[in-house]
Amino acid sequence: MLNFGFVMEQALGHITHHQNLARWVGKDADICPIWMPIEGNKSDIWNRLPVIRNNWSLKCSLRARDALKAALRVQPLDALFFHTQTIALFAIPFMRHIPTVISLDATPLNYDTIGAGYNHKVGSNPLLERRKFLWNQNTFNAATALVTFCQWAKDSLVADYGVPADKVTVIPPGVDMEEWHFGRGKAACPNITSGKVRLLFVGGDFERKGGNTLIEAFRSGLMQNCTLDIVTQQTSVQHELAGTEGVQVHCNLVANSTRLKELFAKADIFVFPTQADCLPHVVLEAMAAGLPIIATDVGALREQVEDGVNGLIVPPSDTGAVIAAVGALSGDETKRGRMAAASRRLAEERFDARRNYSAILDLMKTMVTAQNKNQGLLKIR
């Protein structure tokens, strides 16, 4: 039995990634998992100290260090898995003795390119920014291996941080292909029962995910031929859109819930005009559900949505482009069906949870085997 420690950032889509990974880890009889979820909002000493309490990376990396120390007091760990690098900054001493994978959806420099949508500002102090860069670079170098969600992040690790390409493996997050298959994507058949095309938007952070752009587009030309389901954690949206014809707002739905899957099953088009994202998990779900997707060209979204193949790419904050894209798909059942089939096919090829999460565990097992072999050779010498 292998003791694997999983140190998992608990924010945004990383929570869903944690839940899905945990499910597949639980199916591996060779692994005894030690889970260390690291939350951003927690009442502890790090949330009370000046400077640290306002810095997510410092605060959560210190919490991760504390959690790891506590775990090691109970049992030794054969391997470590950190997701993401933002909680691994104080883990370099542990990585010297324990084979470690650092998993990430974006490098810090990747994040800087899309940071405005997250209210993230690039620092103005060149010396401080250089120190941050070197700290992250040293963290990447200390890891035994790195796993990225996407090629976008791997390219940055190699080009920006000087990480050897063979140290980085692209393993995207995954979706359970059986649970997210609703009988679409194999034929060009519309899912319309009301005479109107049913649009679906899912985004906890409504504004950043492009919710306002979609609402403006809906009111400006889409409401005559479409209905719109909105899933968000922002309850204020429900009050703001109360009484808006053709719009239903669903709050407090959790990842992988039956109700959420029902909305995907009933939808005709997934519309996601996000302003800032890396590789959003919800788009993986839309692909697995066999939906044509309208999305923006930010982060690694082009690694999910191929323009003209399984969806259409529109510029961020462009209401007119959203109206035109929805019109192009809602008026062409054949195109919509073809894109639905392509979404499902690409999901099966790239984002199958069983295959992708197994690949992560296989990588960790390989690292343990290699370390044991090296230690055996040292003893012989």
Instruction: Give the dihedral sign, CA 250/253/259/265.
Output: positive
Would you say residue 189 lies in a domain? no
The radius of gyration of the chain's CA atoms, rounded to the nearest angstrom, is 22
- CB count in 10 Å sphere of residue 71: 18
Question: Residue 194's pLDDT is what?
Answer: 58
- CB count in 10 Å sphere of residue 338: 18
Cα–Cα distance measured from residue 12 to residue 191, given in angstroms and rounded to the nearest whole number:
30
Cα–Cα distance measured from residue 310 to residue 304, given in angstroms and rounded to the nearest whole number:
9
Question: Residue 187's pLDDT is what?
Answer: 39
Cis peptide before 84 (omega within 30 of 0): yes
Spatial contact of 51 and 21, defined as CB atoms under 8 Å apart: no
Same domain, yes or no: 90 and 164: yes
Would you say residue 151 lies in a domain? yes
Would you say residue 185 lies in a domain? no
Cα–Cα distance measured from residue 19 to residue 143, given in angstroms and rounded to the nearest whole number:
23
Would you say residue 316 lies in a domain? yes
Burial of 222 (0-12, 13-18, 19+ CB in 10 A): buried
Cα–Cα distance measured from residue 71 to residue 73, given in angstroms and rounded to the nearest whole number:
5
The angle formed by the CA atoms of residues 341, 347 and 349, to the nearest 5 degrees, is: 105
Same domain, yes or no: 15 and 138: yes
Same domain, yes or no: 281 and 232: yes
Same domain, yes or no: 298 and 338: yes
Question: Residue 121's pLDDT is what?
Answer: 83
CA distances from 58 to 52, 174, 211, 336 (A): 6, 29, 31, 46
Same domain, yes or no: 152 and 256: no
- CB count in 10 Å sphere of residue 180: 22
Would you say residue 313 lies in a domain? yes
Same domain, yes or no: 341 and 371: no
Same domain, yes or no: 253 and 325: yes
The token pair that represents 151 in the structure block: 């090629």
Question: Residue 120's pLDDT is what?
Answer: 85
Cα–Cα distance measured from residue 350 to residue 360, given in angstroms and rounded to the nearest whole number:
14
Question: Residue 13's pLDDT is what?
Answer: 87
> In the chain, which ranges are continuous DSSP H helix?
14-25, 56-74, 92-95, 108-114, 126-142, 151-161, 211-217, 235-240, 258-266, 281-288, 319-330, 333-350, 353-380
Same domain, yes or no: 244 and 125: no
Overall number of domains in the chain: 2
Burial of 172 (0-12, 13-18, 19+ CB in 10 A): buried
| Region label for 203, one of left (φ > 0), alpha (ψ between -120 and 50) or beta (otherwise) | beta
At 312, which CATH number?
3.40.50.2000
Question: Residue 289's pLDDT is what?
Answer: 98
The token pair that represents 237 in the structure block: 């949206």
Would you say residue 280 lies in a domain? yes
**Which residue range(s) make up the domain with 292?**
197-350
The pTM of the full predicted model, rounded to 2 decimals, is 0.92
Per-position pLDDT tens, the chain of length 381: 999 999 999 998 899 999 999 999 999 999 999 999 999 888 999 999 998 999 999 999 999 999 999 999 999 999 999 999 999 999 999 999 999 999 999 999 999 999 888 888 888 889 999 999 999 999 999 999 999 999 999 999 999 999 999 999 999 999 999 999 998 644 344 444 458 999 999 999 999 999 999 999 999 999 999 999 999 999 999 999 988 999 999 998 998 999 999 999 999 999 999 999 999 999 999 999 999 999 999 999 999 999 999 999 999 999 999 999 999 999 999 999 999 999 999 999 999 999 999 999 999 999 999 988 877 655 555
Would you say residue 190 lies in a domain? no
Same domain, yes or no: 227 and 345: yes
Same domain, yes or no: 155 and 227: no
Cα–Cα distance measured from residue 123 to residue 337, given in angstroms and rounded to the nearest whole number:
46
Would you say residue 157 lies in a domain? yes
Same domain, yes or no: 57 and 129: yes
Same domain, yes or no: 310 and 288: yes
